[in-house]
Amino acid sequence: MVTEFPLIAILPVPFSPEQVIIALAVLIPVLVIFSFLLISEEAFESIGFGFYQAVLVTAGALIGSLINIPMIPIGEVIIAVNVGGAVIPLFVTLGMVVRRRISLPKALAAIAIVSIVAYTFATPTPGIGITMPFYVSPLAGAAVGLLLARGCQTAPGLAYAGGAMGTLIGADILNLASPAVLTALAGGKTTLLAIGGAGIFDGIFITGVFSVLLAGYAGRRLRERTGVCPQERGE
């Protein structure tokens, strides 16, 4: 008689309810972060970045979201620049313009329009910072990108430029240019206000990624219904 043994055996290991809760508390955030990083990497690839460039930008935004560079002291307020939320989106936008993924006039138009929208909806909140409904800038960026690109394949790039840089200017810079806003946000205490800051899951970075995804999806649907764009017929 031949005794057979499986090469892989998964044995049931008893866990206490406390251990299960701890495991879920660790695994769920890790899975969420990993999934978001995959999505953001795909978004950067869709606007013309290579795989390794997209990974580098995504990792840089994640790490850079923890880094604030102090720039200008104004009374009790220190104005800083967040690397992940301001510096990297600026370089991504400039990179698309330099590589002619998007045109400079249309990029400036997208940024200007979303800046107005962001400034209108942004609310300086003492003790928190400048707040705005999370869906406003991604929707505005995607809509502007689609309109300026006429639904064509440059829409995601213009959506990123408008969504990220428009929010940066309209929500952060224009509000922080007001002495009254600075005083209200500081609340009489020495305060560091980071342009583009708020972490990777808030603010500029997530706005840029969602703008790209929305514009990319809507653009594909438009092309499927109306046919290819005139300038893309040769592709």
Question: Distance from first CA to last CA of the chain, Å, rounded?
Answer: 67
Confidence of residue 9 (pLDDT cuts 50, 70, 90): very low
Residue 8 included in any domain: no
In terms of residue numbers, what domain contains 131? 17-228
Tell me the pLDDT of the chain averaged across its residues.
81
Residue 12 included in any domain: no
Q: Which of 70-79, 153-162, 216-225 has the highest mean pLDDT?
A: 153-162
Closest of 84, 88, 38 to residue 63, by C-alpha? 84
Residue 153 included in any domain: yes
Q: Which of 37-41, 132-136, 165-169, 200-204 has the highest mean pLDDT?
A: 165-169
Residue 155 included in any domain: yes
Per the CB < 8 A criterion, the answer to whether 177 and 123 are in contact is: no
pLDDT tens-digit profile of 172-181?
A: 899 888 888 8
Confidence of residue 1 (pLDDT cuts 50, 70, 90): low
Find the angle CA(79)-CA(88)-CA(219) to the nearest 5 degrees: 125
Residue 146 included in any domain: yes
Please tell me the least confidently modeled range out of 53-57, 89-93, 138-142, 201-205.
201-205
Residue 105 included in any domain: yes
Residue 233 included in any domain: no
Residue 4 included in any domain: no
78 pLDDT above the threshold of 70: yes
- Reported as type and span, the H/E element at residue 194 is strand 191-195
Q: Is the pTM of this model over 0.85?
A: no
pLDDT of residue 45: 82
Structurally, the chain folds into a number of domains equal to: 1
Closest of 89, 54, 108 to residue 204, by C-alpha? 89
Other CB atoms within 10 A of residue 218 CB = 18
Closest of 55, 61, 104 to residue 199, by C-alpha? 61
Find the angle CA(49)-CA(161)-CA(99) to the nearest 5 degrees: 40
